Amino acid sequence: MATTALTTERRPATVSYAARARWATVKIETDTAIYVGRLYVPETKKRVSDVLSDERQFLSLTEVTVNHTTEVEPFVAINKNYVRTLRVVHEGDVEPVAPRRFS
């Protein structure tokens, strides 16, 4: 009786484009407000400073608090021309925090 060996071909795990990108929590100061939120850093950008200096006019933040309030805004777009300072609070999260429900 002959035995047939079953072989399984293992493919390297492919990681999607979005999974290779990361999120950074940033604190942005403008003349009128302070924003703390999550900034998406795509794979094509290596650093937060690359996102700040790219050709887009706005920074898109999610899960944002404004002026140290407890209320969380789901999305805020900030015109780069009004940014006085940007500080990275935490960097390197591959996936965003679980979405929150807003009432």
Summarised one tens digit per residue, pLDDT across range 22-41 is 899 999 999 999 999 999 99
Q: Where in the sequence is the domain holding 35, given as residue range(s)?
A: 19-93
Residue 17 has pLDDT above 50, yes or no: no
Q: How many domains does the chain have?
A: 1
In a domain, 14, yes or no: no
Model pLDDT, residue 46: 83
In a domain, 79, yes or no: yes
Q: Which of 16, 28, 21 is nearest to 60 (CA)?
A: 28
Summarised one tens digit per residue, pLDDT across range 39-91 is 999 888 888 999 999 999 999 999 999 999 999 999 999 999 999 999 999 98
